[in-house]
Chains A and B, each alone.
Chain A
Amino acid sequence: MILTDETIRQIKIRMARYPSRRSAILPALTAAYKQVGHLNPAIYREIARVMDIPYIEIAEAASFYTMFPKHEVGRYLIQVCHNISCSLRGADNLIAYIEQKLGIALGETTPDKLFTLIAVECLGGCATAPTMQINDTYYENLTRARVDEIIADLRAKEEQDNR
C-alpha cells in the first residue's frame, strides 16, 4: 500500500461531502499528491479501490490535470510562472538564474533529489510578479537576493531535518 491510513481517511471524509462520490476524485488525487509528492497508476489503483470507482475514471481525471506531477520529483518542486505578467518583470531571467544556481535545466532534479525546477502557467500572482510556487507556498516579488535566501532556507531546513 502506498496511501497511508490518514490519506484514506481524508479521501473518505471528502467522499461524504458530495451528492456524488465521483465529485471527490479530484480531492482524492489532491490528498494522494500531498502525501506522495506525485501521482502514478499504482496510486490510481488504490484510490479506485478506496472510492469504489473504476480505475480508468481515476486515471482519466488525473491525466488531465497538470498540477500533479506524474513521476517522482524532488522534495521541493519549484514552479516558476512564465506567463506574460511575470515575463514582463523578468521571469525568463528568474528561470535562468535558478537553473544556474541549482545547476539544472528546466524539468530536471538536483542530484540530491532536493529540488525540481519547472515552468508553470499563470499562478495568479501577477501584481506581485515575478512569482513562483514551491510545494504549497507562493513566493512573490522575487529578486536574485530573495531567491538566494529562499534556497538557503530550504537547504538549512533539510539539514536540520536530517540531523
Chain B
Amino acid sequence: MEKVLFTHVDQPEQHRIETYVKNGGYQALPKVLRDYKPDEVIDIVRKSGLRGRGGAGFSAGMKWSFVPRDTPKPKYLCCNADESEPGTCKDRVLMERDPHLVVEGIIIAAYAIQAHQAFIYVRGEFVYPAFRMEQAVAEAYAKGYLGRNILDSGYDLDLVVHTGGGAYICGEETALLSSLEGDRSLSRIRPPFPAVEGLYGCPTVVNNVETLANVPYIINRGPDWFRSHGTEKSPGTKIFSLSGNVKRPGNYEVDLGVPLSYVINDLGGGVPEGHTLKAIIPGGASTPLLLPHQIDTPLDFESMAQAGSMLGSGAIIVIDDGACMVWTAMKLIDFFQHESCGKCTPCREGTAWLKQLINRIEGGEGRPGDIDLILDVCGNIMGRTICPLGDAAVMPTESIIKLFRNEFEYHIDNKTCLVKTSYPLA
C-alpha cells in the first residue's frame, strides 16, 4: 500500500530543510503562490474531500470556506498539535520526523484563508517535537518561505510555535483558542464558530497536524489522485496509532477503508501468543468499543459510525482477555475526570461521580444499583455540555457497561474482578 505522509519519515535527515527539499518538499508552496488564487486553493482541497484528522472528520475545504472574505479583521490559522487523547501518538511522528511537511501545509492553508499570522499549538510535554517544529520554522524563515513577501509573491505570513501546559481540553478548538489568548483553557459556546469569531475575536481556522500535512500532497498531485486513496466519502490515507495488546504496536499509514483486522493482525501481528482478543477501542479513548466479531469493519468515518463507534483520531487500542473491563472503564474515566475543564456542571460534577462510582466498584465496594446510577449520570452529561469532552467521557463508559455488564455485576456481587488484570512489566 502506498504511503503518503510517511513516505520520508524514516530518513534520518528529513527534518532538515535541505533533505525535505531534495525529497520534493516546498514544491507545492511556490505553485500555489504563483498559480492559484486563495479561493482556488480552497476549491482544490474541497474537491479532494480531505476531512479533518483530529477526530471530528469535518471537510477541511469547507471549514476554510467559512472564513469571511471581506472582513477588515485579521484572520488566523492555528495548527492543532495538542495531541492528547489516550491512544493517539501520530502527529508527534510528523512533527519530529517531517516537520517541514507540516510547515508547508500551514503556509498553504494560511494563504488559502488569507491569514498573515499562524500558530502551531504543541502540547507542553512535547518538548522534542516542539523543538523540531521551531527548528523547521527558523529554517523556513531563512529560506524565505515564511516572513515578508514570501517567494516574491507579495504574501506575508508569520508562524509562531506555541507550547501548552499539558491539558487535553486544549485539543478542543475553542478551548485551544482560549488557551492561546492566555486564559484558562475553557471551551466556548458555538456559534459563533471560530471561522467567524475565533482567536482575539477574529476569523480563525483550527486544523489538525495530519490534516495540514496532507495539503502539500493534494496540491502537488491533485484532488483526483487523493481520491484514488480511501473510500468515496472518506478519501485519502490515514495514520492509525496502534497500541495496547498487540505484538507490534506502532503508527501505520493505510488507505481509509481498509479493514480494522488489517491494521491489528496483518500490521500489528495480532494479540500476544496465548491470549484472545476481547475488545477494541477503535478511535481513541473517547470512542465506543467494538467486539471481536466486528474486526473486519472498514476503517472509514461512515463504516465506523455504522458499527456503533467512531473513527475519531485513528487511535486503535487493542484489549485482550487479560483485562478486567471495570478496570478498563476506570482507566478511561480517571482520564476524563482529570481533564474536564470544569466550565460545565454536568461534565465537571458528572465525571467526578462516574470516577467515584467506577473506582468504588473496582475497589470491591460497589453497591447494588451502582450500575444504573452510572448510566443515569451518563444520561445527565451526554449532550448537555458546551464541548464534546462530556460526551467523550460518557461514550466509552456506556459502551463498556452495555457490552460487559456481567463483569460489573460480578464485581459488585463478589467484591472482586471476574478477570484479574495483570499486565507485567517486561
Contacts and interface: CB of A to CB of B under 8 A. Distances in A.
B251 A127 contact: yes
A88 B160 contact: no
B413 interface: no
A20 interface: yes
Give the interface size class of chain B.
35 or more
A122 B89 CA distance: 10
A94 interface: yes
Interface stretch (B164-172, B226-234, B372-380): B164-172
A83 B165 contact: no
Instruction: Please indicate which of the listed interface residues A53, A88, A120 has the most CB atoms of chain B within 10 Å of its own CB.
Output: A88
Contacts of B183: 22, 60-61
Contact of A85 (B92, B185, B244, B251): B244
A105 B168 CA distance: 26
Contact of B317 (A66, A84, A142): A84
A17 B163 CA distance: 13
B242 interface: yes
Contact of B165 (A68, A94, A123): A68
Nearest to A65: B165
B135 to A, nearest CB: 15
B316 to A, nearest CB: 10
B249 interface: yes
B243 A64 contact: no
Instruction: Please indicate which of the listed interface residues A19, A133, A138, A144 has the most CB atoms of chain B within 10 Å of its own CB.
Output: A19
Nearest to B165: A65
A121 B334 CA distance: 9
B281 A84 contact: yes
A89 B244 contact: yes
A128 interface: yes
A106 B338 CA distance: 17
A90 B425 contact: yes
Interface in B404-426: 423-426
Given A64-B167, A90-B425, A129 B180 contact: no
A87 B424 CA distance: 10
A114 interface: no
Interface stretch (B1-9, B29-37, B123-131): B123-131
B423 A90 contact: yes
Nearest to A22: B182
Given A30-B165, A66-B167, A88-B319, A122 B425 contact: no
Given A57-B182, A127-B241, A122 B86 contact: yes
Nearest to A129: B243
Nearest to A138: B128
Contacts of A144: 425-426
Interface residues of A, number: 53
Instruction: Please indicate which of the listed interface residues B74, B123, B184, B241 has the most CB atoms of chain A within 10 Å of its own CB.
Output: B184
A88 B243 contact: yes
A150 interface: no
B243 A19 contact: no
Instruction: Please indicate which of the listed interface residues A82, A87, A122 has the most CB atoms of chain B within 10 Å of its own CB.
Output: A122
Instruction: Please indicate which of the listed interface residues B128, B165, B168, B320 has the most CB atoms of chain A within 10 Å of its own CB.
Output: B165
A130 interface: yes
Interface string A61-72: 101111110000
B331 A87 contact: yes
A138 B200 CA distance: 34
A88 B323 contact: yes
A93 interface: yes
A126 B180 contact: no
A89 B243 CA distance: 9
Interface of A: 17-20, 22-27, 29-30, 53, 57, 60-61, 63-68, 82-85, 87-94, 97, 120-130, 133, 136-138, 142-144
Leading 7 A-B pairs by shortest Cβ distance: A65-B165, A67-B166, A22-B182, A90-B425, A25-B182, A126-B243, A85-B243
13 contacts: A22-B181, A26-B162, A65-B185, A66-B338, A83-B285, A84-B335, A88-B243, A88-B323, A93-B424, A122-B87, A136-B128, A137-B128, A143-B426
